[in-house]
A and B are shown apart, each in its own frame.
Chain A
Amino acid sequence: METEGKVIKCKAAVAWEPGKPLSIEDVEVAPPKAHEVRIKMVASGICHTDWTFLHEVGKTMNPQPFPVVLGHEGAGVVESVGPGVTKMAKGDKVIPLVVPQCGQCERCLSPKTNLCSKNWEKTQQCLLADGTSRITCKNQQVHQFIAISTFSEYTVVPEDNVTKIHPDAPLDRVCLLGCGVSTGYGAAVNTGKVESGSTCAVFGLGAVGLAAVMGCKAAGATRIIAVDINSDKFEIAKTFGATEFANPKDHSKPIQEVLRELTNGGVDYALECVGNVGVMRAAVEACSPAGGVCVMVGWTRMGELTLVSEDILLGKTLKGSYFGGWKSVEAVPKLVQEYLSGKILLDEFVTHRLTLDQINEAFDLMITGKSIRTVIQM
């Protein structure tokens, strides 16, 4: 390809500073260095984390580096690879990953976690392994959101942060497996380890929550209570497998009390998919004291979860997970397969399709609760 080994000029949505709309800019994307992959992005979803990063600095998010190209839920095609890359080549369909899998560190070798520690600090600083970025704009280095940056027509990602997927995969749908759907689904089946015949409650019915509902159903839960303050979401929750619906605003009692009454003592599994510490507490209190498990899925780096210690002393378990607990490089291709074979739903999450220059509109749709997932076609 004529672009190989050269700087590519292309369009990207740049966040110059916190609290401001994204700006569509001409950027320069450098060639991949050793163990890096340059990808032509085809489609990208928009996650609440992108918005949080931009608008919630100092509230639920620590101060972050700017300028930055956001986006971490994408799918694309390999444009070129840097030296040392052997697992994928030009033309391969791939999904960048929010959590890497080097396969060699202590955590990759442990069956208990997916939190690969390789390059962890650099990626959290939104830089690649060598401490720099491959994207520049107006002669300024632009950070790459968790070393990914899918809001750009081209991006460069460390090889451990990208996985090759089935050549027939429709990129405008499987991009959702880069974050939201895998996160919610995995929280139920991997982290919570939902059991057949159990009773579950899922708090928050965005993409992550709906994926958690789907995970509970796939695990064979008997009752899945979908909880949201927006009753418009109950119809789609039913599509994903919810059996009951509760809107906290319809009850004068706290929602956890309502759920305990509905289930004669509390649910077996509760999944919090909002990222709000008040909701997290309610989710814990909604669990059965007899072995109930509450999984924190919703992201918040700041904020304090406050609980009565007696609440877990009787026998509840609290846990959480990042990217659904999946070992990313090996799991995402399997999830793609499950979509292709009809085991998991993806189409149903996509409520809007827009172009890169409409990205701020996509954010508005998300924040106003009008969309589940908007897919940006690059």
Chain B
Amino acid sequence: MATAGKVIKCRAAVAWEPKAPLMMEEIEVAPPQEGEIRIKVIATGLCHTDLYHLVDGDKRGFPVVLGHESAGVVESVGPGVTDYKPGDKVIPLFLSQCGKCKFCKCPKTNLCESSWATKYHDIMAEPTSRFTCRGQTILQFMGTSTFSEYTVINQNAVAKIDENAPLDRVFLLGCGITTGYGAAVNTAGVTPGSVCAVFGLGAVGLAAVMGCKNAGASRIFAVDINEKKFEKAKVFGATDFLNPKAYNKPISEVLIEMTNGGGVDFSIECTGNTEVMRSALESCAKGWGVSVVVGWTNVQDFSAKPIQLIYGKTWKGSLFGGFKCKDSVPKLVRDYMSGKIMLDEFITHKMNLEQVNDAINLMKTGQGIRTIMTVSK
């Protein structure tokens, strides 16, 4: 390939500092080193985590190219890479799966020692980067940095997918949909016939609703203060719809009443709001209720009465839906291609990378579910 082994000049959306709009810049992308893959990014989405970092992130995490939900094509590979070749369709991953560390060998976790998160989760990026702009190093967000026409990622964090997969759909499996869906089917372990409640109906929450439905739940409460989201929740399988602002008592009490005093079997919190995390736990059935925290925040502490747990509830967290990323994402792609999971219905807006600040504004104002941004042709 004409670009292999050379520095590529291309366009990327750079966040020079917190809270400032992203700037389209020409950057230089170095060739992949040992064990790395350089990818031409075709499509990318915007996640709340990108927004959190931009608005509230640690200053040491700047300047940075954001983006961690994408799909693309291998442009070239570095020394030691044998499982990937130019032209392969891939999805970059913000988690790693080296397959050799104690975490990868443990069926209970999807953490990996080789991940950036193991050491640098405060700044959300590795200190070394393959990006430079006007002589300055630009960090790569979550090891992925997909707001760029080209990016470089360690092979431990790249999933090779079906050659027929539509990249403008399956990019969603890089973060949001996998996260929500897996929280239901893996972490919560939703069972057939059960009663579930999903708090927060963005892409992650809707994916959780889809997961509850696929797991055979008999009743799925969709909870959000924005009722415009109820229609889409129904599409994904929700059976009941609750706006906490429509009640003068806590939503957990409403849910307990609506389930004949028992509480739901599974609750999944997808907002990142600690008050909602508490409500989700308190909505669960005494004795066996399971509540899963999916929404992310490092700003506030969560608080609950220990008696909730002593009376038999379980509280857990879920990262990337509990999926072993390299093993699972290709399977989820095939599930989409065979109609088992929905992806099209999550996409509400289409833009190109130059319009990234518009996409950010849509997310800030709660409009739409997922915006797809075309990055490269």
Contacts and interface: CB of A to CB of B under 8 A. Distances in A.
Interface string B294-335: 111110111111111111111111110010000000000000
Interface stretch (B11-19, B104-112, B209-217): B104-112
A113 interface: yes
B303 A304 contact: yes
A300 B303 contact: no
Q: Which of A112, A298, A316 has the most CB of B within 10 A?
A: A112
Interface majority SS (helix, strand, loop, mixed), chain B:
loop
B288 interface: yes
Contacts of A301: 305, 307
B269 to A, nearest CB: 9
A309 B108 contact: no
Interface in B28-80: none
A290 interface: yes
Contacts of A296: 306, 309-310
Given A289-B109, A320-B312, A314 B319 contact: yes
A115 B109 contact: no
Interface majority SS (helix, strand, loop, mixed), chain A:
loop
B111 A289 contact: yes
Contacts of A306: 301-303
A107 B274 CA distance: 30
B286 interface: yes
Given A110-B287, A317-B314, A322-B310, A308 B302 contact: yes
A315 B305 contact: no
Contacts of A277: 306
Interface residues of A, number: 41
B179 to A, nearest CB: 11
Given A107-B287, A289-B109, A315-B322, A321 B312 contact: yes
Contacts of B241: none
Interface residues of B, number: 40
A299 B277 CA distance: 22
A155 B195 CA distance: 41
Nearest to B298: A310
Nearest to B287: A113
Contact of A315 (B286, B308, B317): B317
A332 interface: no
Contacts of B311: 115, 320, 322
A319 B315 contact: yes
A346 B209 CA distance: 49
Interface in A300-347: 300-322, 325
Interface of A: 106-107, 110, 112-115, 275, 277, 280, 289-291, 296-322, 325
14 contacts: A110-B287, A113-B287, A113-B312, A114-B287, A115-B287, A277-B306, A296-B310, A298-B306, A300-B307, A304-B305, A309-B295, A313-B318, A313-B319, A315-B111
Top 7 nearest A-B pairs by Cβ distance?
A291-B108, A113-B287, A320-B309, A290-B109, A313-B317, A112-B288, A312-B317
